Amino acid sequence: MRQPKIIVVGGGLAGLMTTIRVAEAGIPVDLFSIVPVKRSHSVCAQGGINAAKNQKGEGDTVDKHFDDTIYGGDFLANQPLVKRMCEAAPGIIDLLDRMGVMFNRTPEGLLDYRRFGGTLYHRTAFAGATTGQQLLYALDEQVRRHESEGKVKKFEGATFLSAVIDKGGVCRGICAMDLRSMEVKTYAADALVFATGGNGAIFGRSTNSVVCTGSSQAALFQQGVDYANGEFIQVHPTAIPGEDKLRLMSESARGEGGRVWVPRSPADKRAPRSIPEAQRFYFLEEWYPKYGNLVPRDIATRAIHRIVYQEKLGIDGQPAVYLDVTHIPRETLDRKLEGILEIYEKFCGVDPRVEPMKVFPAMHYTMGGIWVNAEDQATNVPGIYAAGECEYQYHGANRLGANSLVSCIFGGGIAGPAAVKYAKNLEKGAESTPSAVFDAERKRQEEKNQKLISQDGSENPITLWRELGDVMTEHVTVTRINKNLEMADAKIRVLQERSKKINLSDRAKWSNQTLNFARELENMMVLARVITLGALARNESRGAHYKPDFPERDDANWLKTTRAKWVNNDIQLTYEPVDISLIKPRPRRYDAAK
Amino acid sequence: MSSTTTQPDTSYLLRKLHSFTGLLPVGAFLAEHFWSNSSALVSRAKYDATSQELQTIPFRLIVEWGGIFLPMLFHGGYGIYIWLRGKSNVSAYPWVGNWLYVTQRYTGLIAFAYIGWHLYTERWLTHGTSTYESVAMDMQNPWYLTFFVVGVLASSFHLGVGIWNFLCKWGLAATVRAQQAAGQFGALVGVAFSVVGILIILSFRFDWHPFSAYLPPTK
Amino acid sequence: MAETKQVIVSVKRQAGPKEGARWEEFSLRWRPSMNVIICLRDIAENPVTRGGQKTTPISYDSNCLEEICGSCAMLINGRARMACSALVDQLEQPIRIAPMSKFPLVRDLAVDRQFMFESLKRVKAWIPIDGTYNLGEGPRVSPEIQEKGYPLSNCISCGNCLEVCPQVNEHNQFVGAAIISQVRLFNMHPTGAMNKSERLAALMGPGGIQECANAQNCVHACPKGIPLTESIAEVNRDAWKQALLGWLAG
Ligand SMILES: Cc1cc2nc3c(=O)[nH]c(=O)nc-3n(C[C@H](O)[C@H](O)[C@H](O)COP(=O)(O)OP(=O)(O)OC[C@H]3O[C@@H](n4cnc5c(N)ncnc54)[C@H](O)[C@@H]3O)c2cc1C
Ligand code: SF4
Ligand code: FES
């Protein structure tokens, strides 16, 4: 029998889970990643992972987890697969537990759970404040085990450039570039799974890691892979402002009792500790008495923006509010939140156990992503699958905290076997594809490199990127106004023009990071436009997408998935209905019981 | 390093042997040697008697070679091999442990040279019949005296740090606190040996016998 | 306002593993809470030396920018540390930045730390699970074990502990503190313990735990504050016991 071959691009949680599943099926996998997979962005996840195990006897159930997820996502997610995810979640925790994740424990030796945003239950399993790191390592270790048994071959330090798609529109492999030798090569495979993560870099500064550029998603998009719900971008309410990165201050800080406040009087210049209780404005608790500090992210973010920009109550007139954990016993803080508090201390030089932290919202997560079907993570191009943050399936218009890790692992767990099944059923595998198809794709990519290296111009890719980030952050995040969105799109197109005059200032053929970045930048700009145009078109407010001119959710016209397509070298928006067969949409309100 | 090996590599065994010989028998011999030489602090005669006593222990050659000379040669020789495979970086990382790492190598070398020379002069040339008289004569030479002092201090230091290393490297002191305690213990041993060693040298140099009062009064 | 403050940075440049090295100095505009990564980005945006010479952007590794991915280790003012958490205001100027010296150089500040990942393979640094299908809950783990294991599992494979170790160098293949500590972690876990003797055996092979000479630099250099000396001592104890028993029992 023909031995199929699978390529996985991306080694975060989703990619590693996919890899393990394929290796378990006895099929060889090539795993590509820009960074050594152990350094993938998933390590940044702090707070935890959701599963309704009802370990605290609060009557939590899978159905409630499902309902919270759909409701939190403002009814934009296709429901059946989300339900399957919530059903699978407890099993996923068990699996991770078996893999040796050092989850926090109860005195009985069982897993401990904490509360997270958008729910009233203790549903979030956690390993200190570095849950993502711990989960990623567990999967990384399993992949290393398969690698040492020869089932997995890693290509770390290689970047995906494009898919190899034959005349019949079937994917037959990838074209990738070694980031040291800068050599461009093609690799044949019967099926590909993409797990390339988020796209924070499009917004310049975000809570994401450096390699989260969305570049592969954009490259695939330009090869005919549809992109869905791009306009849904989650802005996290609490991040530490910084010039290189907006470092997240996890929701778990509030889950453990952290409170958000500002001085009631904007003129109050006293040190936070000397401001008496009565003169502090705990605005989340006052505005949303039921969920208090744990309202979903979009709501908390808008509340902070309102405090700072409308009420003018930001600390010292700056765009910042206090996130206060100083009233929590030090021992609890050290045991449950040490990792994140250390980040604050390290990067701000202030001990958050003693002084309230100053935080402000930051771009954090993309709900939108590669379009996949509602059964098995397949995209619209035969042979290409996607899982993890790079696809759009699970979180609708807004993701709940601690739901991403579970969706990454669940999605990867489906995508792997689906790709195997597809590859096994292929009548003709990649090996029968004429080599001319591969050569043509490689040439196309080599020519791109050559052009970039040899062109003379005046533009610097980093400058262009900063400008892109500024436009996107200002107009396409928390508050969206059509006029501004139009302007933003025009600005991006100007940047695209200017990028044709990029001067690389490095023409080396060895480890040329500038060349790769310039390539990524081109792709980022395409995805930036997909996001902006999607936002412009959607005249309603839903989840993370908020338009003051259209402040209500409009189910009659907009309860539909945006599906962007690449037609004649341009973006075309199409729409398709959302599967709401399980829970009927109802208004989403966090100021009262739902 | 292969994942299928079940037997420890020779380098592992040699390392362990190196560490072990440092404490036993070399360290133990050092302790015994300091102890018996302390008899000089009592009187000349006591020293000569002890010295004579040691020359008449049964199986002397076997004890000397198997228990002292060969282990010492191995410990010193392999120690130098280890030294050559390390690459000290104390100028970049001037931490206490790192200083000890470096000093352990130099004191080891000094101690090795000193003990070798000491054995050669006091054991070989004299065929083990060194007397208080002859040693005291040697000590009048300032070069000789300096070498003795440096040698004794280096050996004591090396032993003290060695004890600390031993307790850590065999996992007998594992926690941070236990390792601190082990360090203090090592330091104590090092200081005690230095003091006793210097006292012995002083005894020979100045014909000084502070414990002579222990002797029954001579008529 | 006073004239703008400058930050002087001196970077060791090397175009490839076989090229010669040279130092280049840059003068950058100071901003509050600037770190070394921001300096490198500034240089990439305007690759001109202090002397006005055009040069190339600097190659270096980074990803998370919050000291959790382990990418950005380099020598900053002579010491191995993470660039993303190295705040300019806490560094003496000119800030000297050089690549780690114990790993093969790629270009400029980027090095190849594959050796560490290979070592993890050799010591079977994983829990041997039967499969990812549903097999129920994992073993019970007491909070005490969790509190011991969790810090160990924080190792980000940055390589700082190898960089500062006098015993890690071209003469020997010492796996370094990180790997030994990982062995302790996996041996501690109820399921992981099933491979305990294999892991210990691997650590008694060439380049194994015996190469440790107790300089204890690793524990000072670890950005994650992992109790490495404790790990080494514990694994050492398990190792010689296993060696002795294996020898006595044949
Ligand atoms: C600061 C922070 C905290 C978070 N906390 C939580 C939390 O507590 N709970 C929760 O559920 N979620 C959390 N999230 C979200 C969650 O971490 C991410 O959504 C998730 O880790 C994404 O995983 P992934 O596998 O999809 O992608 P990633 O982990 O981002 O991995 C992407 C992989 O793709 C590779 N790659 C990318 N592009 C290419 C290319 N062109 N060629 C080759 N390889 C490529 C990368 O090298 C990497 O290996 C948090 C996110 C952030 C930013
Ligand atoms: S043990 Fe510490 S210093 Fe060593 S690799 Fe791990 S995190 Fe880095
Ligand atoms: S960039 Fe991840 S540790 Fe510095």
C107 & C122 share domain: no
Establish if B217 belongs to a structural domain: no
Residue pair A476/A485 in contact by the 8 Å Cβ criterion: yes
C77 & C132 share domain: no
The per-residue pLDDT for range B80-116, each reduced to its tens digit, is 999 999 999 999 999 999 999 999 999 999 999 999 9
Q: Quick one: how far is CA A447 from the chain centroid? A: 31
C27 & C58 share domain: yes
CA pair distance C149, A130, nearest whole angstrom: 13
ipTM: 0.97
Q: Which ligand is nearest to the CA of C69?
A: 3
**CATH code assigned at C205:** 1.10.1060.10
Contact C233 B100 (CB under 8 A): no
CA–CA distances in Å: residue A501 to residues A114, A299, A495, A496, B47: 51, 41, 10, 9, 93
What residue type is assigned to position A2 of the chain? R
A241-361 topology per CATH: Flavocytochrome C3; Chain A, domain 1 (3.90.700)
pLDDT classification of B218: cutoffs 50, 70, 90: low
CA pair distance A435, A148, nearest whole angstrom: 31
Q: To 10 degrees, the CA torsion angle through B127, B133, B135, B138?
A: -120
Instruction: Convert A378-425 into a string of H (helix), E (strand) and C (coil).
Output: ECCCCCEEECHHHECCCCCCCCCCCCHHHHHHHHHHHHHHHHHHHHHH
What residue type is assigned to position B37 of the chain? N
Mutational pocket test of ligand 1: of A208, A238, A389, the residue with most ligand atoms within 8 Å of the beta carbon: A389
Establish if B219 belongs to a structural domain: no
- Token digits of residue B13: 């065994």
Tell me which residues of chain B, numbers 66 to 85, contact chain C at a CB-CB cutoff of 8 Å.
82, 84-85
- Of C80, C111, C142, which residue constitutes the final position of a domain? C111
Report the candidate in A538, A523, A330, A406 with the shortest Cα–Cα distance to residue A125: A406
Q: What is the CATH number assigned to the segment(s) A438-577?
A: 1.20.58.100
DSSP letter (8 states) at residue A550? S
Overall number of domains in chain B: 1
C85 & C136 share domain: no
**CATH code assigned at B197:** 1.20.1300.10
What residue type is assigned to position A374 of the chain? A
Residue tagged active-site, from A205, A297, A538, A542: A297
Counting one residue from chain A and one from chain C, the pairs whose CB atoms sit within 8 A come to 187
The per-residue pLDDT for range B121-158, each reduced to its tens digit, is 888 887 777 789 989 998 999 999 999 999 999 999 99
- Packing angle, helices A404-425 and A13-24, rounded to 10: 40
The per-residue pLDDT for range A164-181, each reduced to its tens digit, is 999 999 999 999 999 999
Give Cβ neighbours of residue A223 (< 8 Å, ≥ 6 apart).
A162, A163, A165, A381, A566
Q: How far is the CA of C224 from the centre of ligand 2 (A)?
A: 7
Q: Is C185 in the pocket of ligand 3 (CB under 6 A)?
A: no
Mutate to test the interface with B, among C179, C184, C236 (most CBs of B within 10 A): C236
Residue spans of the domains in chain A: they are: 241-361, 438-577
Contact A94 C136 (CB under 8 A): yes
C50 & C158 share domain: no
Establish if C1 belongs to a structural domain: no
Q: For residue B74, give its domain range.
A: 18-86+94-209
Full DSSP string of C68-81: SS-TTEEEETTEEE
DSSP letter (8 states) at residue C85? T
Contact B179 C229 (CB under 8 A): yes
Report the candidate in A408, A43, A208 with the shortest Cα–Cα distance to residue C156: A43
Q: What is the pLDDT along chain C (250 residues), one digit of tens a residue?
A: 456 899 999 999 999 999 999 999 999 999 888 999 999 999 999 999 999 999 999 999 999 999 999 999 999 999 999 999 999 999 999 999 999 999 999 999 999 999 999 999 999 999 999 999 999 999 999 999 999 999 999 999 999 999 999 999 998 899 999 999 999 999 999 999 999 999 999 999 999 999 999 999 999 999 999 999 999 999 999 999 999 988 777 6
Contact B172 C124 (CB under 8 A): no
C178 & C64 share domain: no
Respond yes or no: is residue A589 known to be catalytic.
no
Counting one residue from chain B and one from chain C, the pairs whose CB atoms sit within 8 A come to 133
Report the candidate in A584, A527, A536, A582 with the shortest Cα–Cα distance to residue A559: A584
Q: For residue C54, give its domain range.
A: 6-111
C107 & C119 share domain: no
Give Cβ neighbours of residue C241 (< 8 Å, ≥ 6 apart).
none
Residue pair A402/A47 in contact by the 8 Å Cβ criterion: yes
* Torsion sign (Cα): B170, B176, B179, B181: negative
CA pair distance A390, A373, nearest whole angstrom: 14
Which pTM was predicted?
0.95
C38 & C72 share domain: yes
What residue type is assigned to position C130 of the chain? D
Cis-peptide, bond into residue A289, ω within 30° of zero: no
Establish if B1 belongs to a structural domain: no
- Of C81, C111, C141, which residue constitutes the final position of a domain? C111
C75 & C136 share domain: no
CA pair distance C44, A502, nearest whole angstrom: 13
C119 & C46 share domain: no
Q: How far is the CA of C61 from the centre of ligand 3 (A)?
A: 8
Overall number of domains in chain C: 2
C167 & C186 share domain: yes
Q: Is C72 in the pocket of ligand 3 (CB under 6 A)?
A: yes
Mutate to test the interface with C, among A39, A250, A456 (most CBs of C within 10 A): A39
Residues of A in Cβ contact (< 8 Å) with C59: 511-513
- Token digits of residue A231: 């306009």
- Of C94, C111, C128, which residue constitutes the final position of a domain? C111
The per-residue pLDDT for range A177-221, each reduced to its tens digit, is 999 999 999 999 999 999 999 999 999 999 999 999 999 999 999
C224 & C209 share domain: yes
pLDDT classification of A594: cutoffs 50, 70, 90: low
Residue pair C194/B108 in contact by the 8 Å Cβ criterion: no
